[in-house]
Structures are given as C-alpha cells and as structure tokens.
Amino acid sequence: MSSDADRVGIPKLGLGTWENTDPEACVESVAHALEIGYRHVDTAQAYDNEGHVGEGIAQAGVDREDVFLATKVWTSNLAHDDVLASTEESLDKLGVDSLDLLYVHWPAHEYDPEDTLSAFDELYDEGTIDHVGVSNFEPRHLDTARETLDAPLFANQVEMHPLLQQDELVEYAREHDLTLVAYSPLARGKVFEVDELSAIADKHGVSEAQVSLAWLAQKDDVVAIPKASSYDHIEDNFDALDLELDDEDVEAIENLDREERQVDPDFAPWN
C-alpha cells in the first residue's frame, strides 16, 4: 500500500466516483488517478459505474494487489441472498476476484442486521472481501453491527468536511478501532465559499480543496475520498497530501461553528 496510508493500510486519499457515469470519462479518470499515485478507488452498486471503474483499473497497469478497491451494496440488495448475488455481480463488473472493502451503503430499506451482516460474514470468511464496512451509520447502528458481526467492523463511510466535522463519529472510530472514510469532503464545492478556508489556502498558496483534504488527512483514523473526473481536479486533490497545516490552521477550521449536511435523503438514519 501507499506510504500515505492510515495505520491499517487504507490510503489516506482515494478517488470517489459518485456521479462519474460517462463511460469514457470514468475509465480515463480512474486510470489517470492510479497512474499519478492514487491507490484507493471507491465505487458502489448504485453509482452504475462499476464496469467503467474496473476498466480504468485494468487500463492503468497498476498491480491489483496495490489498489485498495471498495464498493457498496445498495439498500434493495441487503437481504442475505441478495447481498451474495449482487456482490458476485459487482465482482464481475469490476473484473476482480475479491474486494478490499465491501460496505452496507445505508442502514435502510432491506437492511436487517442479522440477515444482512451474516452474508457479509460469509463473504469475509471465504476471502471474497478483506474487510467489512458500513456507510452512513450512526453510533447506535455501529453498536448493533459490531455486536452482530463475527468479522471485525473495519470502516464507516460518512459525509465529512469542515462544515460537517462529525466529532461524535470521529471519537467513536478512535475508541473502537475503526477507520472513518469521508465522502463529499469538499462539501460539494461549498468549501470554496468559506472565508476561513480561503484565508488558509492563500497563506499556503493552495486551493480550498487541498486545505479541506489536508485537514482530514492529518486526523488519525480518517481518510478522504473526493470525487473528481477532470485531470486537474484529480491532481489538485492528490497534492493535498503534500500540504501540512499548522496548529493555527487546524484551530481555525475546527472553530467553524457550522453544520451543513449535503447528503440527506428521506431514509437517512438521522431523519
């Protein structure tokens, strides 16, 4: 794995692929990201691009074992047998034999802890997945998942950025040896409109995106997966790994008293 990884080997910065549904653009963006040094690629059944992501990985010429690959099981596929069948379909589309990480996408609709997670345990026991993850789980859902699973719970993927700092989940991850994977780490572009982030960006001669990503990357137990499809954005995001924020910068970000959630469907567990 990349040296820019957390303590358990998941690279600190990954490529998110949500809304990256143009076939050619998706293939090229994944390939380019891997060619410049990304080693973590995140997709999902619901993104409708697993096949294109797989093509991009194949096209990059990076050894499969060097790529941390994750996908997510959609809420309509969370009954036990559907987890198994849909994961097999995901593997076929991605062109791989196994996954580094498989998530429950949301604790919603067909999700039942016993029924759903027993299938994840099967996939883990047979070596089809290296790690079990969940996404959009609140502490109470995490408690239940940890109690239900035989396999270790490895990660919780949630929206996280300077405008939604997720202090409770960060503390939970630290206490229970989980990795928090931050999606929408740029708050869907809102980080470019925050004066405090712009001031830090000007100070270092970087973008607000890099400031947000560096703030996440400097946290223990947190990694980020910004989505990007253009080469410029893919490269700009990756450069965040070279940015070191000082204590003053971190304090300014953590003093932002805002909670602006960007992803908030009706079925979300906090609603």
pLDDT at site 61: 86
Q: Catalytic: 38? A: no
Residue 13 burial (C-beta neighbours within 10 Å; 0-12, 13-18, 19+): buried
pLDDT in tens, 193-239: 999 999 999 999 999 999 999 999 999 999 999 999 999 999 999 99
**What is the C-alpha separation between 70 and 91, in angstroms, rounded?**
11
Query: pLDDT tens digit string along 96-119?
Result: 999 999 999 999 999 999 999 999
Strands (E), 120-198: 132-135, 153-159, 179-183
Strands (E) across the chain are located at: 15-16, 40-42, 68-73, 101-104, 132-135, 153-159, 179-183, 222-224
What confidence tier does 40 reach under pLDDT thresholds 50, 70, 90?
very high
Specify the pLDDT at position 257: 87
Alpha carbon distance 253, 230 (integer Å): 27
Two tokens, residue 30: 């994944």
Strands (E), 52-135: 68-73, 101-104, 132-135
Q: Which pLDDT score, from 0 to 100, does residue 8 have?
A: 56
User: Could you report the per-residue pLDDT of 142-171, keeping only the tens digit for each?
Assistant: 999 999 999 999 999 999 999 999 999 999
Strand order in the sheet with 15-16: 15-16, 40-42, 68-73, 101-104, 132-135, 153-159, 179-183, 222-224
Contact 76, 106 (CB under 8 A): no
Mean per-residue pLDDT over the chain, rounded: 95
N residues, the chain: 271
Residue 176 near residue 142 (C-beta atoms within 8 A):
yes
Question: Which of 260, 238, 178 lies closest to 35, judged by CA?
Answer: 238
188-206 per-position pLDDT tens digit: 999 999 999 999 999 999 9
Angle at the Cα of 250 from the Cα atoms of 219 and 8, rounded to 5 degrees: 5
Token output for 223: 């990694």
Q: What is the pLDDT of residue 66?
A: 94
Exactly one of 38, 47, 111, 124 is catalytic; name it: 47
What's the rounded Cα separation, in Å, for the pair 202 and 215?
15
The confidence band for 7, taking pLDDT boundaries of 50, 70 and 90, is very low
Report the percent of the chain where pLDDT is more than 70. Answer: 97
Beta bridge partners of 129: 99
